[in-house]
């Protein structure tokens, strides 16, 4: 039976197993981050750890349903695990640590390269590299035009986000990038109305970028 056939016949069970894997990987990622980036203040609180583990498990399970046993699945699981952690850190500290962003970019590219080499499909990998460059330069231009709206951390995060969206297609790159701005604007308005922020520049933009990317990955065909 082909890998696609195996995924189809054991889809729900496979998704549950990958979801449980995501739940286990979340605290492991938090432990590694706490040890390698002590300036973040150590492990988050218990409620935050439970929330991130549950969200990571849900994302990993739905990604398993989305991709089945495709060779690209490990790369997108990495996006889920590190994406949740980056969003958590950005919300708490208004910071997107370079080591985590670079890990997401380099490891994601390596995993996509591995999947492309096994499946002998290189067009997606080339488009992914182009997507990373395109979204990075778009954010860089926007940051230079409006430095109070987009930080350099967001510019750097645009590269791995563009990598994953570009791998899926040019339309996914466009809609995922645009949706990030929409979600960021909505979040800014909500927080300002709740008086938890005075200016839109005080709102972390990384979580909106990551949510838009993962949402596009899961919902766009």
pLDDT tens-digit readout, 25-69: 999 999 999 999 999 988 999 999 999 999 999 999 999 999 999
* Domain carrying residue 161: 3-219
- Domain tally, the chain: 1
CA atoms within 13 A on the CB side of 171: 3
What secondary structure letter does DSSP report for 170?
H
Whether the pLDDT of residue 200 is over 70: the answer is no
pLDDT in tens, 124-159: 999 999 999 999 999 999 999 988 778 899 999 999
Quote the pTM value.
Answer: 0.90
Contacts within 8 Å (CB) and 24+ apart, 117-126: 118/71, 119/70, 119/71, 124/72, 124/167, 124/168, 125/167
């Amino acid at each position: 039976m082909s890998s696609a056939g195996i995924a189809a016949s054991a889809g729900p069970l496979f998704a549950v197993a990958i979801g449980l894997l995501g739940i286990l990987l979340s605290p492991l990622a938090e432990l590694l981050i706490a040890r390698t980036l002590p300036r973040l203040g150590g492990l988050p609180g218990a409620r935050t750890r439970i929330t991130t583990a549950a969200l990571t498990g849900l994302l990993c399970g739905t990604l398993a349903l989305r991709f089945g046993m495709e060779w690209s699945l490990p790369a997108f699981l990495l996006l889920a695990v590190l994406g949740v952690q980056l969003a958590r850190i950005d919300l708490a500290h208004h910071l997107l640590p370079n080591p985590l962003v670079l890990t997401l970019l380099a490891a994601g590219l390596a995993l996509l390269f591995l999947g492309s080499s096994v499946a002998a499909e290189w067009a997606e990998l080339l488009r992914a590299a182009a997507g990373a460059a395109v979204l990075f330069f778009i954010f860089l231009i926007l940051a230079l035009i409006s430095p109070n709206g987009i930080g350099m951390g967001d510019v750097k995060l645009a590269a791995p986000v563009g990598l994953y969206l570009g791998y899926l297609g040019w339309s996914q790159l466009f809609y995922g990038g645009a949706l990030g701005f929409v979600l960021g604007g909505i979040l800014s308005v909500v927080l300002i109305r709740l008086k938890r922020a005075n200016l839109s520049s005080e709102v972390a933009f990384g979580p909106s970028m990551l949510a838009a990317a993962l949402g596009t990955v899961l919902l766009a065909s």
